[in-house]
Amino acid sequence: MSEIIWGIVEETTINKRVARLIEALDISQNVFAKALSTSSSRVSNIVTGRNKPDSDFLAEVLRVFRSVNPMWLMTGEGNVFGSSDTLKSASTQNPNATSDTNSTNPATPIAQVNAQVNAQVIPKDKMNRVPEPVHLTPSTPTDARRLAEHFDVRELATSHESPWGNGTDIIVATQDTEGNPTFSLINYKAAANYLTGYQSQEYYSDLAPISLPRQLVGNPRQGIVLQIEGDSMTPRFQHGDYVAAILLDRSEWGQIRDLDCYVVVSHSHGIQFKRIKSRLKQFGFVRCKSDNRRHTPYNIEEEDLIQLFRFVLHISPDASNTDETLFNKVESIEERVEDQRDMYEQLSQRMEDMQRLLQQQLPPTTK
């Protein structure tokens, strides 16, 4: 392992600090991802700056690599690891040790972590677990203020009334380098697996991110971009179009406006894009309606509802005239009216000509 001097390092972005940490650990991105029980593509997207790491990812880093300095990871201030002397002494005393990465030793030697990961000591049944929360305890008020300034407090929030339905928040909302929110792109294939994957952080990690201007979509806690399948919302929303929508908390369901568009997630119908009428307060259900009248409306009981996303933006690659059929019909009627007008004028002219001829042929009247 190459020698690294553990000095005070300050990185400008959280993505750069993750990349710096992997370099300091002297392991590959694949090994790092394996230690965190996540996909290598997720780590690659974070290291390259495509995605911003969420709170679950950072919590897992601090849980697995216990020698990492939380203040440095969150703010870029201080040492990469808790203490260079502690780290070196631990490595010198027992360089071949194989203690558990979950032990209480605050400075697990890097060589041990690397060896454990390569030896596949992480049980397979824990590969998709929800990470245990890591509680950061700043030593001074100044440290607490710095953490608050550098970390989005929304990502640390937990709720017993989670919108995900399992009491655990899955944090997927991130921001790009310009501060614009990043939405998860759910295409046809991802939509088919949504019900089985929406509670998994791994499901969102494998989705392509798309950044949208905050001037158009605000700054939502969670958002998705769903690809529309079928003709149920035509002519306004065509097959293959995309709609951006933001997740509503259950406390916001009472504010639904009738006939607005929502992405509706339910056990019985999966994930659908519909106009809805809320009858939750009166009768405990929402009525889903399609723009295409050939599709019959249906009701979804409140206990069957999982999530509601409010529509905020329509994205379409189709620039064709959706009202072309109507325009053609109007144009056809106008042409027929014009033809009728021309025929009327022609007939009127002929009748006048015939009247003049008749008058010329009649003998003059005598008084």
Name the architecture of domain 180-315: Ribbon (2.10)
> Are the beta carbons of 209 and 50 closer than 8 angstroms?
yes
Strand ranges (E), 260-347: 260-266, 270-279, 285-289, 298-301, 305-315
Q: Are 238 and 228 in contact (CB under 8 A)?
A: yes
Q: pLDDT at position 222, please?
A: 85
Predicted TM-score (pTM) of this structure? 0.47
CA distance 162 to 82: 34
Would you list the domain boundaries of the chain? 14-156, 180-315, 323-367
Residue 35 and residue 176: Cα distance in Å, rounded? 26
- pLDDT for res 322: 61
**Amino acid 320: pLDDT:** 73
Q: Which residues contact 343 (CB under 8 A, 6 or more apart)?
A: none
Which pLDDT score, from 0 to 100, does residue 189 have? 86
| Per-residue confidence (pLDDT) for residue 12, from 0 to 100 | 66
Mean pLDDT per 10-residue section of the chain, whose length is 367 residues: 38 84 88 86 85 86 88 87 48 42 41 46 38 37 40 34 43 60 89 85 80 87 91 92 94 93 96 95 95 95 95 88 71 85 88 86 71
Can you give the pLDDT at residue 263?
97
Distance CA 169, CA 172 (A): 9
Q: With b meaning 16 or more CB within 10 Å and e meaning fewer, what string describes 275-293?
A: bbbbeeeeeebbbbbbeee
CA dihedral 316, 321, 326, 327 (to 10 degrees): 160
Residue 200 · residue 130 · CB < 8 Å: no
